[in-house]
Amino acid sequence: MSKLLPVDEALARVLAAARPIAESMTLPVLDALGYVLSAEVTSAIDVPPADNSAMDGYALRAHEAGQALPVSQRIAAGRVGTALMAGSAARIFTGAAIPAGADTVVMQENCTEEAGVVTVSGAVTVGQNIRPRGQDICAGDTVLDRGRVLRPQDLGLLASVGCASVTVHRPLRVAVLSTGDELIEPGSGELPEGAIYNSNRYTLAGLLRTLNMEFVDCGIVADDPDATAGALLDAAARADCVITTGGVSVGEEDHVKNQVERHGRLDLWKLAIKPGKPLAFGRIGDTPFIGLPGNPTSVFVTFCLIARPFLLKMQGVDEPEPPHLQARAAFVVNKSGARQDYLRVTLESTPEGLVATKFSNQSSGVLRSVSHSNALAVIPPGVTVAQGDRVEVMLLDLIA
Ligand code: AMP
Ligand code: MG
């Protein structure tokens, strides 16, 4: 058996080969969810722009809080008050700017107002209930760095500094080609004998959509050298990266390997990974190419572990690798393997922390194991697991 390439080494190699796309575009912030910033955003203003009240109440001078204070003005959010005369208080509402001279806000629950005069109960300290100017962001601060995938809260943050549009990388175009004479598309009639439905195309379309990348659908290609060559060249011309499924083993019906070698450059690896041993990486002409295995479960796992970080780096993302968490195993692994195993598990939160339960059938032919799980438990080569042992897990919500 040829040497198996460890997953980390394969990942390091593909990441070293990934070149972020240069093209950018400008988008309204409202439309920028999921895009990747190609330039950092700095703030031109302080947020909040002025000291303002965190409460409905009265603004006054803290050292005058023991006196009955005439209420000299009323300042609602959006209004600008006048300087506070000594020996008086301002009625103030949440979000309104603190008038000059006042150094504290007393919440209305601790105040009594009668005939235009307010008295305060309880201790009053300087600065209480005041949100200071610039407490969130100061003018000149970097609000978000380049390489960041924009989340909903980031859109809000950009808006809070008055930013109406952003410069982002254009979405990567990723061509997907399914190889296999046995494949037919759902919706194209009953299954002929010997056929199966093409599921990889759908999994990959969904995975690319969650990454905000463009799915360039190249359909199914027959297990034939010329058809494979034609389809690969066509895919490479239409996309920034080509992903194929199936046909990367060394069987007589596996043509992807030879055709990529003919029209580009290829590294074929036997990865120390389970599910999903054969994986190809290279170029068709100048277009990066990733050949995933055929088994649907292997496609999912190898995409998440190798293709996803590669594509994210091409997309300009700074940290393309997902975080790992820890959980307690509610299963055993009695026999250690030569490959790093990615068990499909369900994580549950218990008072003792996260607990991982293994899906019953871990065969690489069982796609249900992915659909009915919410995480992958990483079992390194040569490792056995006893009930209750700590294992590393990757949440599917963070990678798929
Ligand atoms: P291969 O690497 O081409 O030999 O494929 C390995 C296994 O995955 C075979 O059982 C194929 O039938 C299956 N397979 C390949 N491509 C797909 C696909 N697009 N959808 C579902 N199963 C597939
Ligand atoms: Mg095949």
Terminal C-alpha separation, the chain: 32
pLDDT of res. 172: 98
Distance, in Å, from the CA atom of 290 to the CA atom of 187, rounded to the nearest integer, reads 28
Q: Which ligand is nearest to the CA of 296?
A: 1
pTM of the model: 0.94
Q: How many residues does the chain have?
A: 400
pLDDT value at residue 106: 98
- Check if the beta carbon of residue 29 is closer than 8 Å to that of residue 72: no
Residue 192 contacts by C-beta under 8 Å, 6 or more apart in sequence? Answer: 184
CA 107 to chain centre: 41
Q: Round to whole Å and give the CA distance between 280 and 125.
A: 67
Answer whether residue 1 shows pLDDT above 60.
no
Provide the 10 A C-beta neighbour count for residue 332.
Answer: 13
Predicted confidence band at 2 (pLDDT cuts at 50, 70, 90)? low
Closest CA to 370 of 318, 300, 278: 300
Q: Which residue is closest in CA terms to ligand 1's atom 15?
A: 294
Q: Which of 178, 184, 193, 196 to mutate to test the pocket of ligand 1 (most atoms within 8 A of CB)?
A: 196
The pLDDT tens digits of the residues spanning 148-165 come to: 999 999 999 999 999 999
Report the distance separating Cα 100 and Cα 350, nearest Å: 52
Q: What is the pLDDT of residue 268?
A: 83
Residues with CB under 6 A from ligand 1: 178, 180, 182-183, 196, 198-201, 245-247, 249, 293-296
| pLDDT-wise least confident of 6-10, 41-45, 192-196, 246-250 | 246-250
Q: Are strands 117-120 and 111-114 parallel, antiparallel or unpaired?
A: antiparallel
Q: What's the 74 CA to ligand 2 centre distance in angstroms? A: 76
Q: Dump pLDDT digits (tens) for 202-258.
A: 999 999 999 999 999 999 999 999 999 999 999 999 999 999 999 998 888 889 999
d(CA 155, CA 31): 9
Which residue in 81, 76, 120 sits closest to 94, CA to CA? 76
Q: Give 161-189 pLDDT, tens digit per residue.
A: 999 999 999 999 999 999 999 999 999 98
Query: Roughly what angle, to the nearest 10 degrees, separates helices 225-238 and 256-263?
Result: 60
Q: Predicted confidence band at 265 (pLDDT cuts at 50, 70, 90)?
A: very high
Instruction: Give CA–CA dist 277/362, Å, rounded.
Output: 15
Which pLDDT value is given to residue 399?
Answer: 83
Secondary structure of residue 216 in the 3-state scheme: strand
Rounded CA-CA distance 121/277 in Å is 73
Whole-number Å distance between alpha carbons of 85 and 71: 10
The DSSP output letter for 243 is E
Query: From CA 221, how far away is CA 51, in angstroms rounded?
Result: 65
On the question of pLDDT at 45 being above 90, the answer is yes
